Amino acid sequence: MMIRTVSTQPFNDQKPGTSGLRKRVPVFQQPHYLENFVQSIFDSIAAPRGAALVLGGDGRYYNREAIQIILKMAAANGFGKVLVGQGGILSTPAASCVIRKHQTFGGIILSASHNPGGPEGDFGIKYNVTNGGPAPEKVTEAIYARSKQIAEYFILDAPDVALDKIGVSKLGDMQVEIIDPVADYAGLMASLFDFGAIRNLLASGFRIKFDAMHAVTGPYAREILEQQLGAPAGSVMNAEPLPDFGKGHPDPNLTYAHELVEILYGDNAPDFGAASDGDGDRNMILGKKFFVTPSDSLAILAANATLAPGYKAGLAGIARSMPTSAAADRVAQALDIPCFETPTGWKFFGNLMDADKVTLCGEESFGTGSNHVREKDGLWAVLFWLNILAARKQPAENIVREHWVKFGRNVYSRHDYEGLPTDAANSLMQHLHDSFSGLRGQQFGQYEIQFCDDFSYTDPVDGSVSTGQGVRIIFTDGSRIVFRLSGTGTEGATLRIYLEAYEPDIAKHHLDAQTALAELIRIAEEISQLRKRTGREKPTVIT
């Protein structure tokens, strides 16, 4: 086996977004493209010789081929050991768990999260640091800077590694250990939740349906929900990870998880439903004929946290992304703990957790998590809900409605306009910026604008500043409209519009969110000139 030095030239499009580098599969298949980015990671992180690394992905198309390339490059770059999920599989929260448990230098996760897969679909790669969380901006900026200068990369000439058999082998001087992708993660979940109580709930006739969406959580959900907790076989649907996710869109929302939604809203519906996404870090929660918004889910987990053994001591604090509703803020106030409002992107929660400032955190984009790892965690959220349901012995809908009675309802929705021409999306955002001074104090129906801004954040731990995080229009009654361009797509631009109104009146808690928010939706379209600037009559996705 010989280390080969390969001459290369930089690509100009390797700037990582909020969750690493995401492109279409054919882009990553270009000669030197993946290798350049991997070498840029290795050149930037300054891992000591002999360091250990974690490697795995969500099983999407090109996952196995990329793992072989990365293993050979890791061997050529002096790593001493790489832990790889069997078959190349590791959910994103499981990868974080393994990094933390085995105290590796970090890990490389191959995923484009909730984006579609397949030969013409999306692929992604990101580096997670030693705490198990996504690389902070100073690291991703260093990787990007290196990618613009790279002239060579190093790779070992060697046969491919057998990925499907658990065990240890050698690749040059480097040890490759193929590990059970589920074991460490399942052990962590058993330490956090009352598996006995959940087992009794499921044995009582309480029926669940979990949609793995032919993505990475299938093996995890089968092992934990069906094998360890005793849910009947078949409780986990679409459980086999497929390179193209069964030609589906592995995003657990009301639009893309429609098969699960039809089951939970159909005749003889199960008592509880949930879904997770491509890499296992997102979740959707459903009761029987009832949808729990991610914002409400975070608030309810926080309000009931002490029912789970891992959180009996209480919470240090809560963090939410700026576009997420303020429902969690009301819980934090009642518990007399801090609530932090951060930009979108899980890496912003990492500093807060490492500094013991928060225990739970969440985003409206179907991501919730805690300080047990440094990633959002879909199956963890499902188990937390099952623990609460087992302890309170009430349907999910009743728990949510009782929560609204106590705290009021933050009526909330997100409208996504996907695949917009980038110029049109940027023009709309610029129009909003230009309108700031004229909007303050204006009356739109029952709503008066208090102020407008572009959200910025100063990290309370390291003092770093993040600007340009989303346009906020705040009304005098606390209602909000937020406009933000997403950084997770690979084609065109995705405009997200977030709408929130606080409703303390119990008599109005039954209203459908779109009905309750109808006036705010109209105002958002008027202020942004959305139809004129994009040509779109309606959103692609409503959640």
Closest to 242 measured CA to CA, from 68, 66, 85, 63: 63
Question: Taken in order 131, 132, 133, 135, is the CA torsion positive or negative?
Answer: positive
d(CA 57, CA 73): 17
Tokens of 415: 């409208």
In order of 134, 292, 369, 373, the CA distances from 353 in angstroms are 13, 25, 11, 9
CB 404 within 8 A of CB 506: yes
DSSP β-bridge partners for residue 55: 84, 108
Q: What is the CA radius of gyration of the chain?
A: 23
Helix (H, G, I), strand (E, B) or coil at 370: strand
Catalytic annotation, pick one of 113, 365, 370, 528: 113
Per the structure block, which two tokens stand in for 177?
């250990």
| Sequence letter at residue 299 | A
CA atoms within 13 A on the CB side of 175: 10
Judge residue 183's burial from the number of C-beta atoms within 10 Å of its C-beta, 0-12 exposed, 13-18 middle, 19 or more buried.
middle
Q: CB-side exposure of 512: number of CA atoms within 13 Å?
A: 6
113 noted as active-site residue: yes
**Distance (Å, rounded) from C-alpha 233 to C-alpha 229?**
11
Both tokens of 380, joined, read 């963890």
* CA gap 436, 445 in Å, rounded: 19
C-alpha–C-alpha distance, residues 524 and 515, integer Å: 15
For residue 370, CA distances in Å to 30, 265, 268 come to: 38, 30, 34
**Amino acid identity, position 275:** A
Catalytic residue numbers read 113
